[in-house]
Structure 1
Amino acid sequence: MHAVILAGGYGKRLRPLTDDKPKPLIEIAGKPIIEWQILWLKSFGINSFIVLTGYKWEILIKWLSENEKRLGISTYFSIEEEPLGTGGALKKVKNLLKDENAFIVTNGDIITDLDISQLKLKESIVTISLVPLKSPYGIVETQGDKIVDFKEKPILENYWINAGVYLMSNRVFEYLPDKGDMEKTTFPKLAKESLLTGVKFYNVYWRSIDTIKDIEEASEDLMRMKNRLSADNR
């Protein structure tokens, strides 16, 4: 199975870190985002990657080409000479995926450990991974006009967000725009035709890297997880 990584964004909210490199090469706990993604997907037996590039594509392709052997992967690249949106970028590589019954697609700015083997298509064309919404703010609990407790950025388990990890049938190309985001065009159309499903992941690590604060917090999370694993293996 192939995995497609959507890696063409500008990373404007991460400037100045993205002034001289694309967002997937921003380091989190000592590794670029894209390396974390490759290691995660490799743990499910995926060794073949199609990377959809745009901004600073030369630097990303150079890094991947130099690290293919070390990571034990094969990579194919698609370069957007002009922004095509997620839907247009994916449609551009139709010929590379036309013989695949199903393939994984992931946004190039997330770090997660969710279990992609739980994603099944059944009668759908796309299955979306869903994770519970984490409040960006602390929550104040009240009883009447009395404050009784504080919860620091709790998980809101009744609210689900698109995790940016998908299992797709090759039939998706019939629904993709030549230019535009599939989240705004393809997914609503599939939903109306009952061809879109979601799988809820409860106890997983998931983080979208959008700001400097996300880098700092994700780095702390991953170092903490690494130290915990080291302690457990002693």
Structure 2
Amino acid sequence: MKALILVGGFGTRLRPLTLSFPKPLVDFANKPMILHQIEALKDVGVTEVILAINYQPEVMINFLKDFEDKLGIKIICSQETEPLGTAGPLALARDKLIDGSGEPFFVLNSDVISEYPFAELIQFHKSHGGEATIMVTKVDEPSKYGVVVMDEESGRVDRFVEKPKFFVGNKINAGIYLLNPSVLDRIQLRPTSIEKEIFPKIATEKQLYSMVLPGFWMDIGQPKDYITGLRLYLDSLQKKAPTKLAAGPHIVGNVLIHDSAVVGEGCLIGPDVAIGPACVIEAGVRLSRCTVMQGTRIKKHACVSSSIIGWHSTVGQWARIDNMTILGEDVHVSDEVYSNGGVILPHKEIKSSILNPEIVM
């Protein structure tokens, strides 16, 4: 089987992290975001992954070459010269997707994190005999989204309603699809939306089905949702593979610590924290609801909460980082500095407190 991952553009919502790496290579729970998807695809027999990309393809491919060998899966790029939306990239990659087997192929949005129930999706898709299957997820406030109206028993999609004023359902498109090759005959090589142009047509022909995604789901393409996604991911890990999580008197709730990280005495870490490779957490540090990326040093008695600390950064002694502060790569926060929602671009030194959310260029 094959899969196409819609990598897209510049990752502006996750800046300043995406100023250093393309968004799919930004760490999430101590591995590049896209690697969570590729590993799950490999587990269900996908042998080739096509990355639909229009930004920094060389960086992506060079980085993923190592994983290609480790996982035994082929990873190739299909590069757009202009943005093609969410359907146009399928037309562009048509020759790469069609192999004569007639097997369906996966299409994924690269921002989506979940438990990736791909085996169940394959089984459901083959059982209903339709042309396409989309995964849907339940939400509390459907009026914010495009809602998928479906037959609850069979899963057949009736129609889509964009930001409904009245309740029509609580399921939204989860950005995970399994499509028959015939879907490609419906798509022209031009900027096209698969959600607004292609799926509604398939639905009117009663060939589109939906499967409710079990477990958690989150689009982690912006910082607030990234932090929420980390909490949901760690909750899931606690249920499915608790031995991967850290334990000890200094741990509160679900915490992921890379084997090469060093944690000093008297720390209190958690809940919902990921500490990456080669990080040093000095004595007396308090961490909660945050990600600390590779090669970072958090100095004595610093406090970090609800924030993302980029690669190879330093947080000084008694510093306090809070309220969705995002440090880019190689940012150095001086001792006793307070950041309340600062967004700091790479290679900066912060010597004075940021009292209100602002971008530091």
TM-score, length basis structure 2: 0.55
In structure 2, what is the equivalent of residue 190 of structure 1?
202
Whichever structure has more helix as a proportion of its residues is 1
Gaps of 5+ in 1: 137-155
2:133 aligns with one of 119, 127, 131: 127
Letter paired with 2:242: S
Distance in 1 (alpha carbons) for counterparts of 2:236 and 2:129: 37
Amino acid at match of 1:187: F
- Deviation, structure 1 residue 47: 3.1
Shift of 1:19: 2.0
Alignment of 1:207-226 (within 5 A): 207-226=218-237
Q: Distance in 2 between matches of 1:232 and 1:114?
A: 18
- After superposition, the C-alpha distances for 1:11-67 in whole angstroms (9 at most, x for unaligned) are 221112112322111111111111111122222222321111112222111111232
Q: Per-residue CA shift, 1:146-199, capped at 9, x if unaligned?
A: xxxxxxxxxx9x500111111101101111132212112111111112121111
Partner of 1:34: 34
Matched, 1:174 2:185: yes
4+ residue segments displaced more than 4 Å: none
Query: Could you tell which deviates more after superposition, 168-177 or 98-107?
Result: 98-107
SS in 2 for 1:167: strand
Sequence identity percentage? 34
Q: Could you tell me whether the CA contact under 8 Å between 1:7 and 1:52 is conserved in 2? A: yes
| Cα drift, residue 106 of structure 1 | 0.8
Root-mean-square deviation over aligned CA pairs: 2.4
Residues 92-148 of structure 1 deviation map (CA, whole Å, 9 limit, x = unaligned): 111122224211111111111132233315442211111111459xxxxxxxxxxxx
Amino acid in structure 2 at the alignment position of 1:82: E
2:119 to 117, 120, 127: 117
What TM-score do the two structures reach when normalised by structure 1? Answer: 0.82
* Contact 1:126 1:167 (8 Å CA) reproduced: yes
Partner residue in 2 for 1:107: 109
How many residues matched? 213
Structure showing greater relative contact order (alpha-carbon pairs closer than 8 Å, 6 or more residues apart):
1
* Cα contact 1:29–1:220 (8 A) shared by 2: no
